[in-house]
Copies of this chain bind each other. A is one copy, B any other.
Amino acid sequence: MAEQVTIGRIGEYVDQVVSIKGWLYNRRDKGRLQFLLVRDGTGTIQAVAFKRDLEPAAWEAAAQVTQESSLVVTGIVRADDRAPGGYELGITDLEIVQMAGEYPIALKSHGVDFLMENRHLWLRAPSQWAVLRVRATVIRAVRNWLDDHDFMLVDAPILTPAACEGTTTLFETEYFGEKAYLSQSGQLYNEAAMEAFGKVYCFGPAFRAEKSKTRRHLIEFWMVEPEMAYVDLEGCMEVEEQLVAHIAQEVLAHCRPELEILERDVSKLEAITAPFPRISYDDALKILAEAGEPLDWGEDFGAPHETVLGNHFDRPVFVHRYPAQCKAFYMAEDPVDPKLSLSVDLLAPEGYGEIIGGGQRAHDLALLERRIAEHKLPQEAFAWYLDLRRYGSVPHSGFGLGIERTVAWMCGVHHIRETIPFPRTMGRIYP
Contact = CB atoms under 8 A, between A and B. Distances in A.
Interface stretch (A76-84, A300-308, A340-348, A387-395): A387-395
Contacts of A351: none
A385 B121 CA distance: 10
Contact of A429 (B136, B147, B178, B211): B178
A362 B387 CA distance: 52
A21 B198 CA distance: 9
Interface in A48-75: 68-70
Nearest to A24: B392
Q: Which of A155, A182, A193 has the most CB of B within 10 A?
A: A155
A247 to B, nearest CB: 15
A385 B363 CA distance: 50
Nearest to A125: B196
Range of interface residues on A (Cβ < 8 Å): 35 or more
Given A21-B230, A97-B394, A422 B198 contact: no
Interface stretch (A169-177, A326-334, A370-378): A169-177
B129 A196 contact: yes
B136 A152 contact: yes
A173 B176 contact: no
Interface string A118-146: 11110110001100110110011001000
A8 B100 CA distance: 56
B100 A390 contact: yes
A386 to B, nearest CB: 10
B123 A6 contact: no
Interface in A221-237: 222, 229-230
Contact of A207 (B40, B159, B172, B211): B159
A45 interface: no
Given A70-B393, A153-B136, A384 B159 contact: no
A100 B391 contact: yes
A98 interface: yes
Interface string A197-237: 11110001101010100000001101000000110000000
A2 interface: no
Contacts of A385: 120, 431
A422 B176 CA distance: 17
B192 A431 contact: yes
Contact of A69 (B199, B220, B388, B392): B392
Interface string A147-171: 1001011111111110000000001
A313 interface: no
B152 A41 contact: yes
A260 B135 CA distance: 38
A430 interface: yes
Contact of A132 (B70, B197, B230, B390): B197
Contacts of A211: 176
Interface in A98-123: 98, 100-101, 103-104, 118-121, 123
A23 interface: yes
A429 B195 contact: no
Nearest to A4: B230
A253 to B, nearest CB: 14
A306 to B, nearest CB: 26
11 contacts: A6-B150, A24-B392, A120-B189, A129-B196, A129-B197, A132-B196, A140-B147, A157-B220, A159-B429, A175-B209, A176-B427
Given A8-B150, A41-B199, A129-B196, 19 more contacts: A4-B230, A23-B195, A40-B229, A41-B200, A42-B150, A68-B392, A120-B388, A132-B152, A132-B196, A155-B205, A155-B420, A160-B429, A171-B173, A173-B182, A175-B219, A189-B422, A204-B205, A205-B205, A384-B430
